[in-house]
């Protein structure tokens, strides 16, 4: 059976060049902390990868702290910057939502953070604050006004953390222009391996390591570095930077998919479609048909997507993102997330449209 992978926001395929660099790295012996020649070679590979990751986001190499992924980087930012009250947007990833007790900033029905509400919340309490606002949402693809939020946050003497896991490699990204003090990246969303990420510590903020017991990563994250993973991350970042201009073309396929699916199912709903969105993401509901039913029907037809609200346990639960946007529960429960990537083809979209259309036709036939 032909397979169409349309779940790139869950994970992207490993770039072959990253896999090759990782294989080479795995074959070498050397701890970057050792002073002998093998150690120095490992250190050179580590620092080369650090420079590649930093270049993707316009940061200094010294700002990069390698972690085990986006989840750990978010934890490090939110729990490592001590002594500040925390404000987070209502649509943040669970790794932000569950990091520490926080005040929740609402979003508009389009899924964009309410900056007036943020300003009121900052003004209401003079204690030093840390605000966490993602650059693009994983479920809807909606892009957040991070630069504007940064200006506001800084005017109130607060710090801004930005989870850029879904945006990196899909949108041009420059930490200086963005104004974020801390930025989270994850390798596997942009063509690197799973289990590697980074916290970019842009501002000179005191950061308490969460993982202790060694001086690695300038004392900000103890433990021997995952060198092959980091090398793969670096290569994936270099490719993403090189191919960024071409990535916008993914929107042509996404838009074609949206037009086709909504024409086929007149009562279909698109969430986050009337505001700036990632070029690759489509959050779509077939009202009355549970997301899990759609995901399974599509999977049987060789098309891989996820429920808008897929959680890490693989079960489907109500989406806090759609909830925050005021989407009624019944509609939210029928939302799926279709996400494309650099190797998605028109044939993948044909396969999706045929399978979704066939499910709709079956449901209508059984309801008649
Ligand atoms: N932040 C966002 C917005 C994500 O979409 C994800 C992964 O789904 C993460 C953080 C977590 O990243 P990782 O899988 O590398 O832990």
Spell out which residues line ligand 1, taking CB within 6 angstroms. Answer: 69-71, 74, 93, 95, 134, 138, 163, 165-166, 186, 188, 197
Indicate whether 314 pLDDT > 80: no
Alpha carbon nearest to ligand 1 atom 13, residue: 70
Query: Which residues have CB under 8 Å from 252's CB, separation 6+?
Result: none
Question: What is the 169 CA–ligand 1 centroid distance (Å)?
Answer: 14
Q: For a ligand 1 pocket test, name from 70, 146, 171, 185 the mutation site with the most ligand atoms within 8 angstroms of its C-beta.
A: 70
How does residue 368 score in pLDDT terms, banded at 50, 70 and 90?
confident
Q: What is the H or E stretch that residue 186 is in?
A: strand 182-186
Residue 249 has a pLDDT of 92
C-alpha of residue 186 to centroid of ligand 1, in Å: 7
Instruction: Provide CATH code, domain 16-242.
Output: 3.40.640.10
Return the ligand 1 atom nearest residue 137 CA.
Answer: 3
Distance CA(307)–CA(335), nearest Å, equals 6
Q: Of the given ranges (17-26, 67-76, 157-166, 203-212), which has the lowest mean pLDDT?
A: 203-212
Pick the CATH number of 4-12+245-367 from 3.90.1150.10, 2.40.50.140, 3.40.50.12780, 3.40.190.10: 3.90.1150.10
pLDDT score, position 82: 84
Mutate which of 98, 111, 138 for ligand 1? The one with the most ligand atoms within 8 Å of its CB, which is 138
Centre of ligand 1 to C-alpha 23, Å, is 25
* Residue range 153-163, pLDDT digits in tens: 999 999 999 99
Q: State the Cα–Cα distance between residues 136 and 189, nearest whole angstrom.
A: 13
Q: What distance in angstroms lies between residue 93's CA and the mean position of ligand 1's atoms? A: 7
Ligand 1: residue of 11, 166, 308 to mutate (most ligand atoms within 8 A of CB) is 166
- The residue among 50, 345, 322 whose CA lies nearest residue 201 is 50
Q: Which residues are known to be catalytic?
A: 311
Q: Tell me the pairing of strands 269-271 and 85-89.
A: unpaired
Ligand 1: atom nearest CA of 136 is 3
Give me ligand 1 centre to Cα 211, in Å: 19
Rounded CA separation 239/359 (Å):
38
Average of per-residue pLDDT across 27-38: 98
Q: What is the pLDDT of residues 49-82, one digit of tens each?
A: 999 999 999 999 999 999 999 999 999 999 999 8
256: tokens are 């074609």
Distance of CA 322 from the midpoint of ligand 1 (Å) = 18
* Alpha-carbon distances of 351 from 115, 299, 347, rounded to whole Å: 40, 11, 6
**141 pLDDT more than 90:** yes
Q: Provide CATH 3.90.1150.10 ranges for the chain.
A: 4-12+245-367
Mean residue pLDDT of the chain comes to 96
Atom 9 (ligand 1): residue with closest C-alpha? 70
Give CATH 3.40.640.10 domain extents, the chain: 16-242
3-state secondary structure 286-333: CCCCCHHHHHHHHHHCCEECEECCECCCCCECCCHHHHHCCCCHHHHC
Task: Report the relative pairing of strands 182-186 and 159-163 from DSSP bridges.
Answer: parallel
Report the pLDDT averaged over residues 322-347: 96
Distance CA 324, CA 330 (A): 14
**What is this structure's pTM?**
0.97
Closest atom of ligand 1 relative to the 186 alpha carbon: 15
């Amino acid at each position: 059976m032909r397979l169409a992978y349309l779940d790139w926001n869950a994970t992207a395929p490993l770039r072959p060049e990253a896999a090759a660099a990782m294989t080479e790295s795995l074959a070498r012996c050397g701890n970057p902390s050792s002073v002998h020649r093998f150690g120095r070679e490992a250190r050179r590979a580590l620092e080369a990868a650090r420079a590649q990751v930093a270049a993707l986001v316009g940061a200094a190499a010294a700002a990069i702290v390698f972690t085990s992924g986006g989840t750990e980087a978010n934890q490090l930012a939110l729990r490592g910057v001590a002594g500040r009250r925390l404000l987070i947007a209502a649509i943040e990833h669970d790794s932000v939502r569950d990091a520490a007790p926080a005040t929740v900033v609402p979003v508009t029905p389009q899924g964009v953070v309410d900056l007036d509400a943020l300003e009121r919340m900052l003004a209401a309490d003079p204690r030093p604050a840390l605000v966490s606002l993602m650059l693009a949402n994983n479920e809807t693809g909606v892009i957040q006004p991070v630069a504007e939020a940064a200006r506001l946050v800084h005017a109130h003497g607060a710090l801004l953390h930005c989870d850029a896991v879904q945006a990196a490699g899909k949108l041009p990204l420059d930490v200086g222009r963005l104004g974020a003090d801390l930025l989270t990246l994850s390798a596997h969303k942009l063509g690197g391996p799973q289990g590697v990420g980074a916290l970019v510590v842009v501002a000179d903020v005191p950061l308490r390591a969460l993982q202790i017991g060694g001086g690695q990563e300038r004392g900000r994250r103890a433990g021997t570095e995952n060198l092959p993973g980091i090398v793969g991350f670096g290569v994936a970042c270099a490719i993403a930077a090189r191919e960024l201009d071409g990535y916008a073309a993914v929107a042509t396929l996404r838009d074609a998919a949206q037009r086709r699916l909504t024409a086929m199912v007149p009562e279909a709903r698109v969430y986050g479609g009337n505001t700036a969105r990632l070029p690759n993401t489509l959050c779509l509901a077939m009202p009355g048909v549970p997301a899990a039913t759609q995901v399974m029907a599509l999977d049987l037809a060789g098309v891989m997507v996820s429920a808008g609200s897929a959680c890490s346990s693989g079960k489907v639960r109500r989406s806090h993102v759609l909830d925050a946007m005021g989407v009624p529960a019944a509609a939210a429960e029928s939302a799926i997330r279709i996400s494309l990537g650099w190797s998605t083809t028109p044939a993948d979209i044909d396969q999706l449209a045929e399978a979704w259309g066939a499910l709709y036709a079956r449901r209508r036939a059984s309801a008649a």
